[in-house]
Amino acid sequence: MYIFVDESGTFTHSTKLDSWCVVAAYVTPEHRRKEVEALIRQTRSIGNSGAETKRKNLSDDQYIWFLTEIRKLDGLAFAVAVDVGLHRPEALIHHRNRQADKIVEHRDKMIHESGRQSLDALSHEIRDLPPQLYTQLICQLELFHNILKRAPLYFVQRHPPALGHFRWRLDRKAKVPTAYEEAFRKILPAVLQTMSLTDPMIMLVGSNYRHFSRFDYEPGEEPTYLKDTYGMKSGEGSNIGKMIQEDFKLVDSNTTPGVQVADLLAGGIRRLLRGECQEEQKIALLLGSNMVQQLKHEIPIGMISLDQSAVASERIKNIFRLMSSSGRPMLTK
């Protein structure tokens, strides 16, 4: 499967509530990629005279058409949102520094000096991130975790070969990877592996995981902390690092149609949450129809706050109700 990722918003502190920023992903089986490319060509011709098209280039009716068409291609949308109006700069800095400290918390237990130096370098990279990029980092980590937890369960029931490869494509910000992109790439596998131990993938008994088995740890290959800390036996668990690092690329969104889909999803969700859509109900329903129903009655979009919390307005609650009502069922009949 291909996983295309992009974001909407600067993640910079705001003094106003409902200042939403969004990271989103579009996950599609490889055999649907050509159809995604054709849809983006058509969208570009409608929205921006053939040039790369953003949500702002489309009217609500045109965006409704796009969501209707992308729904037919069987991919899945995932999103995580943050209201930066709830974030105080000093609280973000405190949160960031605590996470940087945690990275080196157990460095003395490492046998090799090179390993300790790598932890030190990563800790410094996290501590040096501006608050807005740190906020984006946390949102992206949550997004990737949600994808790994839910997409395999969804596609193993509908197209098992999709689980054979995970091809990650992220919008790059410059020709040379930025400091943020380097830090994100370094921290991603280890953090996701840890998150999966406390909130693991859900595997469906009796399903065809033959294509996914290449990501299983072989006896003797699993990290020792899986046994020492979590009591896992050899062969248990999946190699998240391999799933992430095997095919992970930063790409130019202008030449990568799947990333343009992710951008249109992120931009559409952001405008919806910020109250900038005239056709709010229709767009909420269609966005929800491109997502999978969540487990345990969770809302369809991951919500992050690194500081204060707030009760959602009735308008936001209604948006989530609409999106949940149109979500695709996780399990097939």
Contact 36, 73 (CB under 8 A): yes
Q: Is 150 exposed, middle or buried (0-12, 13-18, 19+ CB in 10 A)?
A: buried
User: Cβ of 87: how many Cβ atoms within 10 Å?
Assistant: 24
Instruction: For the full predicted model, state whether its pTM sits above 0.85.
Output: yes
Q: What is the pLDDT of residue 109?
A: 64
| Apex 111 CA angle, 106 and 115, nearest 5 | 70
Distance (Å, whole) CA 123 – CA 120: 5
Asked if the structure places residue 127 within a domain, the reply is: yes
Which structure tokens are listed for 73?
């291609």
| pLDDT per position as a tens digit, 197-244 | 788 888 999 999 999 999 988 776 666 544 554 444 444 678 898 999
DSSP element (H, E) containing 80: strand 76-83
Residue 297 pLDDT more than 80? no
Asked if the structure places residue 40 within a domain, the reply is: yes
| pLDDT per position as a tens digit, 28-81 | 999 999 999 999 999 999 999 999 999 999 999 999 999 999 999 999 999 999
SS (H, E, C) 245-305: HCCEEEECHHHCHHHHHHHHHHHHHHHHHCCCCCCHHHHHHHHHHCCECCHHHCCCCEEEC
Q: Which domain holds residue 133?
A: 2-326
Q: What is the residue-averaged pLDDT of the chain?
A: 89
Domains in the chain, number: 1
Distance of CA 317 to the CA centre of its chain: 22
Which structure tokens are listed for 187?
């921290």
Asked if the structure places residue 38 within a domain, the reply is: yes
DSSP element (H, E) containing 191: helix 179-198
Asked if the structure places residue 333 within a domain, the reply is: no
Asked if the structure places residue 332 within a domain, the reply is: no
